[in-house]
A and B are shown apart, each in its own frame.
Chain A
Amino acid sequence: MAQIFHPSMNTVAKGSILGAVITLGLIGFIIGGVVRSPYITQEDVPRAQPVPFSHEHHVGGLGLDCRYCHTGVEDSPFAGVPATKICMTCHSQIWTNASILEPVRESWRTNTPIRWNRVHQLPDFVHFNHSIHIAKGIGCSACHGQVDQMPLMWKNQSLEMSWCIGCHKNPEAQIRPRDQVFNMKYQQPSNQAELGAELVAKYNVNKRQLINCSVCHY
């Protein structure tokens, strides 16, 4: 019986096996890349809002403190999105006829909440707590970025678990003095490694416990 396959087929067969492995690997790599890309995580993608509220103007320009609007951030798991009443403390006096603020005034008039589009969203099995991060010297900008330069809000980080764990394993890299937590312009000093270690000890950060699953998942 004549040979069906030419001897060169041996090379082709080996090549195609290798090719298949490479292709599958590549597909996996691409999927992994896409899943972690801003396309999926929405990292760095500004989110449209019913009222084009500008943090750049209010924080960077006017110098409002974070806590003026995000009232729960020091005491509650949620930082809190301001009630219409908080908007109206100023906007009943200034820019009272601005058309872009009409949804705010309408909300106030009709007692109907504004539906803001959520920017930072965690799965329901993750229980993040703002208050403890604030208390232990993790600045707002560590996760939320330079909010004072964001005309519309976007996610500065992917909020993936590996990113959370990175800091929970090594809080020295991000910790800052407590009086600098709300400082949007805070720059890490050149001796962050030493300062971080000092602050971790001073603020009694329990590193062994930080990497326990039940710190976030329950």
Chain B
Amino acid sequence: MSCPHKHVDEDAVATAVKTTPLVWRNLDERAQNEAFEKHMHREFAPGASEWHDPVSRRNFLKIMGASVALAGAAGCIKYPEEAIVPYVQPPNDLLPGRPMYYATAMPFDGHAWPMIATANEGRPTKVDGNPDHPASLGSSTAIGQASVLQLYDPERAQIVTYAGQATDWSTFQVEILKEMRNFKATDGRGLYFLMTPSSSPTLAKQIAEFQKAYPNAKWHVWEACANHGARQASIASFGRAVNTVYRFDQASRILSLDSNFCVDEQGSLIYARQFVNGRRLRRPDKKKPVVREVIESDWQNPTYVESGNATMNRMYMVETNYTPTGAMADHRLALPPSQIEDFARAVAAGLGVAGVTAPEAASMSEGAGGNRGTQFVQAVIDDLKQAGASALVIPGRNQPASVHALAHAINQQLGAAGKTVIYTDPVDINPVDHVESIRALATDMNAGHVDTLFIMDGNPAYDAPADLNFVELLDKVRLKIRSGLYYDETSMYCHWHLPASHFLESWSDARGYDGTVATIQPLILPLYQGKSAHELFALLSGDITSTGQELIRNSWKDVKDDDWETALCKGVGLGAAPATVDVTFNASALNNAKAQATAKDALEVSLPPDPAIWDGTWSTNGWLQELPRAITKLVWDNAALMSKATADRLGVDSESLLQLKYVDGAGREQSMTVAVWLVPGHANDCITLTLGYGRKNVKAIGGVEPMDNLGFNAYPLRKAGNLNYTIVTAIPAKGRYPLSSTQLHQNPEGLDLVRFYSGTEFASGNAEYPEQEGYVPGIENRQKDVRLSLYPEFDYAHGHRWGMVVDDNACVGCNACVMACQSENNGPIVGKDQVSRYREMHWIRIDSWHFGDESNPITVFEPVMCQMCEHAPCEEVCPVNATTHSAEGINEMTYNRCVGTRYCSNNCPYKVRRFNFLRYNDYYTPSLKMVRNPLVTVRERGVMEKCTYCIQRIDITRIDVKRAEVARDSALAQQTVDGRTNPEYNPDEAKRQQNVIHDLMMGLQTACQQSCPTEALVFGDMNYRRADQKPVRINELKNQPQSFGLLTEFNTQPRTSYMSRFRNPNPSLESKPLFYPIKTEEG
């Protein structure tokens, strides 16, 4: 993309002295190297105007010639004849054309995300967070958003199979009941179950009953990416299983020990919200000082913490890979996985935790921090000590039990336990240590004790620890029965495969991260022959008649019918969060054993779950595969992530191959080849390789390539003794592996696209911000600021005036908005090859801008979607009026007018328009037709598209508001009849309709906004006047002094505005707070 505002003289660029830019997007840009220059000099993406179908150009012309001729003929053909098929007996409350909403929840990782699912004429098409449930408060995660695609995945197991051959449930039923009768004689000896963790109270009851009937049956649990360290440490530290809940709303100083708590902890939706709440600085009134704003659940009605001076929390992060939470940290130290425990121990010792000795200072001086390590530890100790009970230490899910125990000890020592950290009964129905559990199972399998093995969900043949040799042990089991959504690696080794039902097809119950019960109800009958775990257990117990609904209802039979209905309607109400439990910390949980030092030429490989496809369960989900991962922006692949220093030492670069030599489960030397990707801020002398890739015989939805060729399987590296990381030796290998990363795609070019300041300076009012050309905060001022334009100004004084605010200070880069947008707006999947040609189709992208040193950058996430310019450059160049301006200020995109010239995209300085170079939408797979939102056109090849502010939601709300206005006005008209006061006039009706209007206006959210856990995106009508005279939230935010616009120097007058990021650096580590943009002499 060339610089849109000035001509780039190539010679001048070549001869200019290369200076390191202050903000940069990737390491090439920072180094201003050839690759980056080449990228910048190219006006269009590589291959932007070439034909990349297998069809040759010659064939294309032939086909096109024929198409033109046929199109002429087709114009004379009558409209296709369609049928209308109404119901025989319409379901209650259903009005065709109006979606229905149901409260449900998605079980994940032993807890549940409460959801509201949308059904259009019986098809679930969208899921969102449940605002009534304390574990969601309306927000959702990227994986949660993509779960609706999984329901319609054509790769799902559809029938019961025995030894790979199709059979049916009744055959299985006969067989299994025969087996169960035999087991009855031995009380279930030799009957083993391997399950994934669950939080379902009903399942707990069913298992307890089953155990009563078959006392010798054994229960094992394994989930590859569960929080193993927390489970182990809880038993060791407190002598019992507890659930640790963190209260970020009570915390002023936070230390994260490799915890990506804004994104991948069980309570992340709430943790991210509470953490960001502690950092929102607002000036509620122009005359008042800056205070902190807190949004509990109703985002339209925030409260303000008048604390005299604005207090922000401060977060320290110690981690290996650069995670989104790390980017939110005020100070960050990158350490190899083995040294994070050293760091935790140094902090514990510094705070005076009994029984902990500080490691030698030298052990943290390696790593990316250099000798920053020691200084960093001291600053953290001092700050935590000062904060006392309002400090919070959270260990990561990828950390060993020892780090979790140290975190417990530090929280106890600081007095934080009970305040910022609370302990409750476990959410998990079987809170055992998974590693011990699967190891015990492996021992029994090896000893031949296992006669029949039920594997319910999970995929142990793929993801069990490598040293257990699980696949070989399966041979020693007489009968293997598998229940799961997919016929996967594990199913191939099992006799029976039983299709499981998706959560949107089944009745169940579950608990949120805090223990509050959520109900799970189906929106659709099972598409295939799936059965839920409850139905399967009922079948094993000989109950072949009860439906899933009856099983769940009977398990809650104490609940009255009315309460049950309410609980189903709200998704919450069956059980509140469990009370906190008193625990005493057992210091013997702390061991001072030093982790084995890694040899000089060896590298540690950290093995976290993939941010999108998690442990591999979501491999087939094309939406998640194509989701640009935070920071790396990689899609469709994992890679060996490492720092530039490490790559230089090894002699490799991004996309080159690296051979990793490791010891496999059987103790043999093995090697695997992985592609390298350089990441700023990664710890030195170690690699991060995410789990979940390299699966066999898996095809992702929308994926052109078979998955076998995508990514690298990291599970062979993972052993039961240390799931966290493994040690390898690495040598460069020949060849290259192309990776697709969107980091430099669709970039805007201009001044100061991102801003960050010190929060304290902002609050004190002493900070001087460079003024932005073409932008004045505050909507009243904006109108005064309208500058010369060739086109007439629009008049927005009447009707709606939609606008948006994006708060960079709140965006944690979790990607939920990207998924929500794709789900809401029928976004297609384009595949890895098309992404490498800059053709990804996401309407919203999260730009990550780095500032400063490549080993320890400051990073700001900035979601960018169509800015709805009031002087829109795209509108002026469209030759067919396919993109126009609406009376409400929306830049409309009319697909059926678009002829695909792409002028608009070329003229868009924000690069937010997406073009359908090929027919990306799958028109043929029947099940995938069902996932589409019927209110949004499915775009054809050759059509431009972009963010519409979710115009379909706006339209339906506008219509409903108008209908309510009509009803209100006709109610008011009843006041008089024939000029006399009407005695039967009821003033409540008009008031009720006015409330309907208010609720509709306040409830209107775009899909991205609805999913956001931190309210980083706020949408609304800038002309709406509330009855209570409070300012509409969007206007309040636009009036904030930290408000700014993107590329306003071009006089585009974007309707979307941004708010700058605030940092809260510790003066002892950063005496002069850094900020950006910096005033330079050139301006």
Mask: chain B, 54-81; 1 = CB below 8 Å from A; 0 = not: 0000000000000000000001101101
Q: Which of B914-972 contact A (CB under 8 A)?
A: 935-938, 948, 951-952, 955-956, 959, 962-963, 965-966, 969-970
Distance of A197 Cα from B84 Cα, bound (Å): 37
Contact of A214 among B938, B955, B966 (CB under 8 A): B955
Decide: B84 and A116 in contact? CB cutoff 8 A: yes
Contact of B963 among A80, A117, A135 (CB under 8 A): A135
* B303 at the binding interface (Cβ < 8 Å): no
Distance of A91 Cα from B892 Cα, bound (Å): 48
Q: Which residues of A contact B791 (CB under 8 A)?
A: none
CB contact under 8 A between A107 and B88, given known A136-B966, A213-B894, A214-B948:
yes
Q: Which residues of B contact A125 (CB under 8 A)?
A: 895-896, 937
Mask: chain B, 808-824; 1 = CB below 8 Å from A; 0 = not: 00000000000000000
Distance of A124 Cα from B929 Cα, bound (Å): 14
Q: Which of A48-91 contact B (CB under 8 A)?
A: 71-72, 75-78, 80-85
Decide: B76 and A214 in contact? CB cutoff 8 A: no
Q: Which of B990-1007 contact A (CB under 8 A)?
A: none
CB contact under 8 A between A115 and B948, given known A76-B97, A135-B963:
no
Distance of A203 Cα from B963 Cα, bound (Å): 10
Nearest CB in chain A: distance from B976 CB, A: 16
Among the 9-residue stretches B391-399, B418-426, B435-443, B883-891, the one with 4 or more Cβ atoms under 8 Å from chain A is B883-891
* A165 at the binding interface (Cβ < 8 Å): no
Decide: A132 and B963 in contact? CB cutoff 8 A: yes
Nearest CB in chain A: distance from B868 CB, A: 12
* A24 at the binding interface (Cβ < 8 Å): no
* A113 at the binding interface (Cβ < 8 Å): yes
* B308 at the binding interface (Cβ < 8 Å): no
* A7 at the binding interface (Cβ < 8 Å): no
Q: Which residues of B contact A31 (CB under 8 A)?
A: 75-76
Q: Which residues of A contact B886 (CB under 8 A)?
A: 209, 212-214
Report how many residues on chain B are interfacial, defined by Cβ distance under 8 Å.
Answer: 46
Among the 9-residue stretches A9-17, A34-42, A138-146, A186-194, the one with 4 or more Cβ atoms under 8 Å from chain B is A34-42
Decide: B95 and A75 in contact? CB cutoff 8 A: yes
Nearest CB in chain A: distance from B794 CB, A: 10
CB contact under 8 A between A208 and B887, given known A34-B76, A118-B82:
yes
Decide: A218 and B88 in contact? CB cutoff 8 A: no
CB contact under 8 A between A83 and B936, given known A135-B966, A206-B887:
no
Decide: A83 and B83 in contact? CB cutoff 8 A: no
Contact of A206 among B798, B894, B969 (CB under 8 A): B798
Distance of A124 Cα from B937 Cα, bound (Å): 7
Decide: A213 and B892 in contact? CB cutoff 8 A: yes
CB nearest neighbor in B for A129? B959
CB nearest neighbor in B for A35? B75
CB contact under 8 A between A218 and B86, given known A72-B96, A178-B970:
no
Distance of A61 Cα from B356 Cα, bound (Å): 93
* A114 at the binding interface (Cβ < 8 Å): yes
Contact of B959 among A111, A123, A131, A178 (CB under 8 A): A131
* A108 at the binding interface (Cβ < 8 Å): yes
Distance of A217 Cα from B959 Cα, bound (Å): 15
* A127 at the binding interface (Cβ < 8 Å): yes
Decide: A213 and B935 in contact? CB cutoff 8 A: no
Mask: chain A, 151-183; 1 = CB below 8 Å from B; 0 = not: 000000000000000000000000000100000
CB nearest neighbor in A for B75? A35
Q: Which residues of B contact A115 (CB under 8 A)?
A: 83-85
Nearest CB in chain B: distance from A207 CB, A: 9
Distance of A129 Cα from B966 Cα, bound (Å): 16
* A99 at the binding interface (Cβ < 8 Å): no
Decide: B955 and A218 in contact? CB cutoff 8 A: yes
User: A residues engaging B (CB < 8 A)?
Assistant: 31, 34-35, 39-42, 71-72, 75-78, 80-85, 107-108, 111-118, 121, 123-125, 127, 129, 131-132, 135-136, 178, 203-204, 206, 208-209, 212-215, 217-218
- A-B contact list, 23 entries, CB within 8 Å: A31-B76, A72-B96, A76-B97, A77-B97, A78-B97, A80-B95, A83-B88, A85-B87, A85-B88, A113-B88, A116-B83, A116-B84, A116-B85, A118-B83, A127-B955, A131-B963, A178-B970, A209-B886, A214-B886, A214-B955, A217-B937, A218-B936, A218-B955
